[in-house]
A and B are shown apart, each in its own frame.
Chain A
Amino acid sequence: MKELRLMKGNEALAEAAIRAGVDAYFGYPITPQSEIIEYLMAEDTEKRTGMVVLQAESEVAAINMIYGAAGCGKKALTSSSGPGISLKQEGLSYIAGAELPCVVVNIVRGGPGLGTIQPSQSDYLQSVKGGGHGDYKLIVLAPATVQETVDYVKLAFELAFKYRNPVMILSDGIIGQMMEKVELFEQMPRSTKEYEWATTGKKPGKDHVIVTSLQLKPEEQEEVNLRLQAKYREVEKNEVMYEAYNIDDAEYLFVSFGSCARITQKAMEMAREKGYKVGQIRPQTLYPYPAEIINKLADQVKGVFTVEMNAGQMVEDVRLAVNGKVPVEHYGRFGGMIPSPDEILNAFEQKFIGG
Chain B
Amino acid sequence: MAENLIKPENLVYEKSKSMTERELHYCPGCGHGTAHRMLAEAIDDLDIQGETIGIAPVGCSVLAYYYFDVDMLEAAHGRAPAVATGIKRVLPEKYVFTYQGDGDLAAIGTAETIHACNRGENILIVFINNGIYGMTGGQMAPTTLENMKSTTSPRGRDIKTMGNPLKISELVAELPGTYYATRHSVHTPANARKTKRAFKKALEYQKENKGTCLVEVVSNCPSNWKMTPAESNKWMEENMFPFYPLGDIKTPK
Q: Which positions in A face B, CB cutoff 8 Å?
A: 23-24, 26, 52, 54, 56-58, 60-62, 64-72, 74, 76, 90-91, 94, 98, 199-204, 208-214
Contact = CB atoms under 8 A, between A and B. Distances in A.
Contacts of B115: 56-58, 61
Nearest to B93: A201
Given A24-B90, A201-B94, A203-B50, A68 B111 contact: no
Given A69-B87, A72-B87, A212 B49 contact: no
Contacts of B65: 210, 212
B83 A209 contact: no
Interface string B72-84: 1111100100111
Contacts of A68: 55, 73, 82-88, 90
B62 interface: yes
Contacts of B94: 200-201
Contacts of B111: 57-58, 60-61
Contacts of B76: 64, 67, 90-91, 94
Contact of B90 (A23, A58, A60, A210): A23
Interface of B: 20, 49-53, 55-56, 62-63, 65-66, 68-76, 79, 82-91, 94, 111-112, 115
Contacts of B53: 72, 199-201
A85 B53 CA distance: 28
Contact of A209 (B49, B71, B91): B71
Given A65-B86, A201-B52, A208-B72, 9 more contacts: A54-B89, A60-B79, A68-B82, A201-B50, A201-B53, A201-B70, A210-B66, A210-B71, A214-B74
A44 to B, nearest CB: 16
Given A200-B53, A209-B71, A212-B73, A71 B83 contact: yes
Contact of A61 (B56, B68, B82): B82
Contacts of B85: 54, 56, 61, 65, 68
Contact of B91 (A60, A72, A210): A72
Given A64-B82, A68-B83, A208 B70 contact: yes
A69 B89 contact: yes
A308 to B, nearest CB: 32
B71 A212 contact: no
Q: Which of A67, A199, A211 has the most CB of B within 10 A?
A: A199
B178 to A, nearest CB: 15
A68 B51 CA distance: 15
Given A60-B82, A91-B79, A199-B53, A67 B73 contact: yes
Contacts of A57: 111-112, 115
Contacts of B84: 68
Contact of A201 (B66, B68, B71): B71
A65 B82 contact: yes
Nearest to A91: B76
Given A64-B82, A91-B76, A214-B74, A199 B87 contact: yes
21 contacts: A24-B89, A24-B90, A26-B86, A54-B89, A65-B82, A65-B83, A69-B90, A71-B73, A71-B87, A72-B91, A76-B90, A91-B76, A201-B52, A201-B71, A201-B91, A202-B69, A203-B50, A208-B68, A208-B71, A210-B72, A213-B74
B74 A76 contact: no
A216 to B, nearest CB: 8
Given A61-B115, A200-B53, A200-B91, A76 B86 contact: yes
A70 B79 CA distance: 15
Given A52-B89, A208-B70, A61 B20 contact: no
Contacts of B49: 202
A58 B73 CA distance: 21
Q: Which of A23, A62, A201 has the most CB of B within 10 A?
A: A201
A202 B83 CA distance: 18
Contacts of B79: 60-61, 64, 67, 91
Going nearest first, the 9 A-B pairs with the smallest beta carbon separation are: A68-B86, A65-B86, A64-B82, A199-B71, A212-B74, A57-B115, A68-B83, A64-B79, A61-B82
Contacts of A26: 86
A200 B88 CA distance: 10
Contacts of A202: 49-50, 52, 69-71
B235 to A, nearest CB: 30
A108 B56 CA distance: 34
Given A52-B90, A72-B91, A199 B82 contact: no
A214 B56 CA distance: 11
A211 B86 contact: no
A31 to B, nearest CB: 22
B17 to A, nearest CB: 10
Contact of A211 (B51, B68, B74): B74
Nearest to B91: A72
Contacts of A212: 56, 65, 72-74
Nearest to B65: A210
Nearest to B74: A212
Contacts of B82: 56, 60-62, 64-65, 67-68
